[in-house]
Amino acid sequence: MQISPSILSADFANLQAELDAIRSADWAHVDVMDNHFVPNLTLGLPVVESLAKVSPVPLDCHLMIDDPDRWAPGYVEAGAESVTFHVEAAADPRGVARTLRGLGARAGMAIKPNTPWAPYEDLLPDLDMVLVMTVEPGFGGQSFMADQMPKVRAVRESVRRFGGEVWIQVDGGVSAATVEQCAEAGADVFVAGSAVYGKDDVPAAIAELRALVAAHAHP
């Protein structure tokens, strides 16, 4: 059970200090948006490269960008240890995943709320993580979509059948109020933005999420 605070909710003028504040987390979740695949622009390769040099925890880059086939490998070279691309944006999802793994990173594949899981189940052997979006990607601070829990369960069932070591990540509106149902549905990596960075005591917020998911872990 891993906690991956999203720096999308952090103070962009003080990112080194904001990363230091989450040293008790497992990952720093870095949202990369290109204003094409999603209607928002955040940060890209030069910032990721700078973050990788100072982060006390490994970087988990979530690429909400067009043409990850071309751009995703650069994020491994910039220092990300986990890179997640959107299956809706990839020309050759299996090829992207294999390239990421070949470069030494964990390969993640994200699916948007309206994207079904079943057509992509056969990609599991080439993946280290599946990210089930629990909001429409593009902006932080949105409301959690509980209707995505059956999809989390479906991915968990596929992973059980396939038998590999594939993590299931949830991202969007994850908080102390929603994280338990994510854990019960089978998620094991939890991205939380405002639920961590919106709190006065960031380490306490991380500890609270950890305690909640530990109590509701799937079997």
The whole-angstrom separation of Cα 58 and Cα 186 is: 23
Active site residue: 31, 60, 126, 188, which one? 31
Measured CA to CA in angstroms, residue 169 lies from 38, 105, 129, 217 at distances of 19, 16, 7, 13
Helix (H, G, I), strand (E, B) or coil at 30: strand
The whole-angstrom separation of Cα 79 and Cα 214 is: 30
Catalytic status, residue 171: yes
DSSP calls for 76-141: HHTT-SEEEEETTT-SSHHHHHHHHHHTTSEEEEEE-TTS-SGGGGGGGGG-SEEEEESS-TT-SS
The residue assigned the tokens 């080439």 is: 126
Active site residue: 26, 60, 171, 188, which one? 171
Cβ atoms of residues 63 and 32 within 8 Å: yes
The residue assigned the tokens 């979006």 is: 133
Report, as residue numbers or ranges, the catalytic residues.
31, 171
